[in-house]
Amino acid sequence: MNSSQNHPFRVLATGIVVLIFLSIILFWLRFLCSASLSERMPDEIKSAFIEPSGLLADDFEKDPNLQRRSQVTAQTRSEPLAHLGITEYLTSILPGGHRSRALLLYSEDEWGYFDDKSGQLVLRYVEAEIMPDNDKLYRKVQYYIGSEGISEIPDKTLGRFFEPIVDCSMLERRSLKSGEIILYDKKLRRFFRIGLNPRTFVKGPELDPNDTHEPVQIGQLNKNQLMLQLAWSPPEFKTSALYPNTAMRSYYRRSVTPVQSSETGQYLLILDKTGRIDLLDKETLTFAAVAGRLPETETLFGSERPATPKNTLSYGAKTIYLGPPRSVETVLDEETPESVTLRYSGLIAASLSRDGMALSATVYDEKGQMKGLTYRASRRRSDKGKTAYFGSPWAPASSLVKYIAESFHPPILSVASFLTATSFEAGAGHRGLFLLPNSFIAMKARDGRDPMYERALYALMLMTPAILLALLLVSRILRDATRLGLPKIVRRFWIIATIAFGPAGYITYLLTRPKVIPVTCANCGKFRRPDMDICHHCNSKWVVPELTPPAWRVLDKERLAERNEPCTDYSH
C-alpha cells in the first residue's frame, strides 16, 4: 500500500471535523425536540401549588368566611433560549452577577465593584452634609473596604478579600445610604457587615475548621430567576355584607402585608453547597438555625437527591414575615407598617429540575419543619415523571426523535455521559455538544432509587439502537476494507473507531478510504489495487512469467477413464 507519513494525521483531522459537525447537527435536533416538549408541557406541570401553606393556624385556615386559603405558588416559564444559557449569561454580566466585577450600579455617582488586584471593595456614593446654616452640601465619597476595615483612601493595611460572596439583596435598594452590606469570604471563612451611613465595620467570628458550612449564595436566593416565579399569597375573605361595594379583602392588609424581601427581619438566608438553607443572625453574624432546603424534583427516572444549586436549572427561596392575626372587621383599619411587629414565620422554596421538565415547591415553618411539599399537580403520582415527555399531544413524537438523535451520538460519548451525569452544572448540560448530561442515559444514571448495576444495565438497554447501528456500520466497513485489501491492523483500527464513535467513525472512513479503481489480476483473475506492488489476493506481482498452477482442477471422469484404459493389441 502506498502510504504517506501524514495519512494518520489526515485521518485524525478528518475525524475531529466530522465529529464536530455531526455533534452540532445532533445538538440542534435535540434542542428542537426539547423546546417542543417545553412548549407543549401541560399547564398542570408548569405550576406547583401548596394550599393551605401551613404557616397559619388551622382554625384560621378553616374559617367559613374564607374565599381562598393561604397558598404557595411556583410557576415556570417556557423559555427555550434560556436553556441555551443566553439569559443566564446576560444576567450574570450585569452588576451583581457572578461574572461581573461590578457589585451594583444605581446611578452615575453611586456604584461599587470588587478590585481583584487589591482584593478590596470599592464603593462610591453621594453623601449629604448639613452645614451650619442648615443647607445641605453634597459630595462624592469613595470608600475602600478590606477584611480589616474601611477607609476613604486605598491602604494595604485594610486587608483584602479573596473569594467574597456579597448579599445580592442590596440590589433591591435605591441607594447605598440605606441598609448595610453583608458578605462572606470563602477563604477567610467569616462574615462581614459593612455600613456607610453611619460608617460601620463588623467582622464576624471565623467558622470552626470542622464546620461543614459552604455558603454559595447569601441574601436573595435565586438562579435563572426569569424562568421561575415564587410567591406566598395570604387568605382572602368573601365579600363582607357590611361592605357590599368593597372587593375581597386579604387577611393581611397594609400594615400586616406579608413581607417576602430578603432584607426584612433579623435573619438572612444562606444557601449551602449541599442545598441546605440556613438562617444567619445579622447582629452576631453567626448561624442561627436551619431554615429548610431546596426541594427535590421528580423527573422521568426518579429524582436526583439531594437537590443542590448545581443540579437544579432554576431555584428560588424567600423568607416570610407576618404580623399578628387580624379579624375581618379590623382588616380595613388604616395603620402604618411601623406600628406592626413582624415575626419570622417560615420559608418557601421552589426548584426546577435539571432538564427543566419538573417543578416542585416546599414550605418550612419558623422551626425548620416541612409543612408542605408538592412535586407538581399531576393526577397520579406514578405519572409525574412521564407527563412532560408523554402526557401532551405530540410529546411522544418529540421524545422519540430526541431518543433517535441520542442514538446517533457516538457510543463512547454516551458512556462518558452516563459516568459524568452528575458532574456538570444543570445549565451547562443544556449546552453540551459532546457529553450529554440531559440524555435519557444520563437521566437514568442520576436515578437514586436503583443500585448502580441496575442503572448500568438499563443504560445499556437504552444504548441498544446505537450498538446495533455501530455493528451494522462495522460490517459494511469490513466488507469494503477486505475488497480494497487493507491490512488487518488497519481494519482493526476502523472496527474499534466505528464501534466507539458510530456514524462519525463510518463517515470518516468513507472520506479517507483509498480512492482507487480496481483492475483484474492477471494471475487469479480477481480485482486488485493498481497502487500496490502485489495482488492482495494471490500475492503475485504485476509481471507473471509463468502462471502459478492452481491448487485444484475440474476434470471429466469419462475422458480420464478412456485415457487411463490399457491398450489391447489384436494384430497377432
The span from the CA of 17 to the CA of 23, in Å, is: 10
Residue appearing with cell numbers 509481471? 543
Instruction: Look up the domain containing 51 and give its range.
Output: 45-382
Q: Say yes or no: 198 and 255 in one domain.
A: yes
Q: What pLDDT, on a 0 to 100 scale, did the predictor assign at position 250?
A: 46
Strand runs labelled E in 366-477: 370-374
The span from the CA of 365 to the CA of 356, in Å, is: 27
> Where residue 177 falls among pLDDT bands split at 50, 70, 90?
low
Residue 74 clears pLDDT 60, i.e. is over it: yes
Residue 568 clears pLDDT 70, i.e. is over it: no
* Interval 9-53: pLDDT, tens: 889 999 999 999 999 999 999 999 988 888 888 777 888 888 888
Residue 123 clears pLDDT 80, i.e. is over it: yes
Residue 5 clears pLDDT 60, i.e. is over it: no
Q: In this predicted model, which residue has the larger pLDDT, 244 or 108?
A: 108
Q: In this predicted model, which residue has the larger pLDDT, 376 or 123?
A: 123
The span from the CA of 336 to the CA of 546, in Å, is: 116
**What's phi and psi for 474, nearest 5 deg?**
-65, -40
Name the domain boundary from 382, 401, 426: 382
Q: In this predicted model, which residue has the larger pLDDT, 566 or 464?
A: 464
Kindly state the average pLDDT of the residues 189-212. Answer: 88
> Where residue 525 falls among pLDDT bands split at 50, 70, 90?
low
DSSP 174: S
Q: What pLDDT, on a 0 to 100 scale, did the predictor assign at position 417?
A: 93
C-alpha cell at 534: 502485489
Which residue type sits at 331?
V
Residue 571 lies inside a defined structural domain of this protein: no
Q: What pLDDT, on a 0 to 100 scale, did the predictor assign at position 463?
A: 94
Greatest Cα pair distance, the chain, in angstroms, is: 168
C-alpha cell at 267: 435573619
Q: Say yes or no: 117 and 206 in one domain.
A: yes
Kindly state the average pLDDT of the residues 302-310. Answer: 82
Rg (CA), the chain: 36
Q: Say yes or no: 456 and 323 in one domain.
A: no
Q: Say yes or no: 442 and 526 in one domain.
A: no
Q: Say yes or no: 442 and 464 in one domain.
A: yes
CB 537 within 8 A of CB 526: yes
Name the domain boundary from 382, 412, 439: 382
> Where residue 261 falls among pLDDT bands split at 50, 70, 90?
low
Residue 388 lies inside a defined structural domain of this protein: no
Q: Say yes or no: 253 and 319 in one domain.
A: yes
Q: What pLDDT, on a 0 to 100 scale, did the predictor assign at position 361?
A: 92
Number of domains in the chain: 3
Kindly state the percentage of the chain with pLDDT values over 90: 27
In the chain, % helix, strand, coil (3-state, to 5) comes to 30, 25, 45
How would DSSP label each residue in 215-233? EEEESSEEESGGGEEEEEE
Residue 390 clears pLDDT 70, i.e. is over it: yes
The span from the CA of 202 to the CA of 207, in Å, is: 15
Q: What pLDDT, on a 0 to 100 scale, did the predictor assign at position 255?
A: 32
Residue 319 lies inside a defined structural domain of this protein: yes
Question: Which ranges of 84-158 does DSSP label H, i.e. alpha helix?
Answer: 86-92
CB 324 within 8 A of CB 252: no
Residue 572 lies inside a defined structural domain of this protein: no
Number of H helices, E strands in the chain: 15, 27
Residue 496 lies inside a defined structural domain of this protein: yes
CB 49 within 8 A of CB 75: no
The span from the CA of 404 to the CA of 465, in Å, is: 8
Q: What pLDDT, on a 0 to 100 scale, did the predictor assign at position 46?
A: 84
Q: What pLDDT, on a 0 to 100 scale, did the predictor assign at position 287?
A: 93
Q: Say yes or no: 365 and 431 in one domain.
A: no
Q: Say yes or no: 364 and 413 in one domain.
A: no
Kindly state the average pLDDT of the residues 179-192. Answer: 89
> Where residue 270 falls among pLDDT bands split at 50, 70, 90?
very high
Name the domain boundary from 496, 514, 532: 514
Q: Say yes or no: 345 and 298 in one domain.
A: yes
Residue 413 lies inside a defined structural domain of this protein: yes
Residue 111: beta bridge partners? 105, 124
Mean of the per-residue pLDDT values of the chain? 79
Do the strands 66-68 and 71-76 form a parallel or antiparallel pair, or are they unpaired?
unpaired
Q: In this predicted model, which residue has the larger pLDDT, 426 or 378?
A: 426
C-alpha cell at 451: 443500585
Residue 248 clears pLDDT 80, i.e. is over it: no
Compute CA distances 307 → 435, 452, 492, whole Å: 22, 19, 45
Residue 387 lies inside a defined structural domain of this protein: no
Residue 221: beta bridge partners? 317
Residue 96 clears pLDDT 90, i.e. is over it: no
Task: Please name which of 216, 448, 223 lies closest in space to residue 350, comparing C-alpha atoms.
Answer: 223
Residue 487 lies inside a defined structural domain of this protein: yes
* Interval 316-337: pLDDT, tens: 999 888 766 554 444 444 444 4
Q: Say yes or no: 151 and 282 in one domain.
A: yes
C-alpha cell at 141: 465619597
Is 189 exposed, middle or buried (CB count within 10 Å of its CB: 0-12, 13-18, 19+)?
Answer: middle
Q: Say yes or no: 435 and 488 in one domain.
A: yes
Q: What pLDDT, on a 0 to 100 scale, did the predictor assign at position 494?
A: 93
Q: Say yes or no: 224 and 135 in one domain.
A: yes
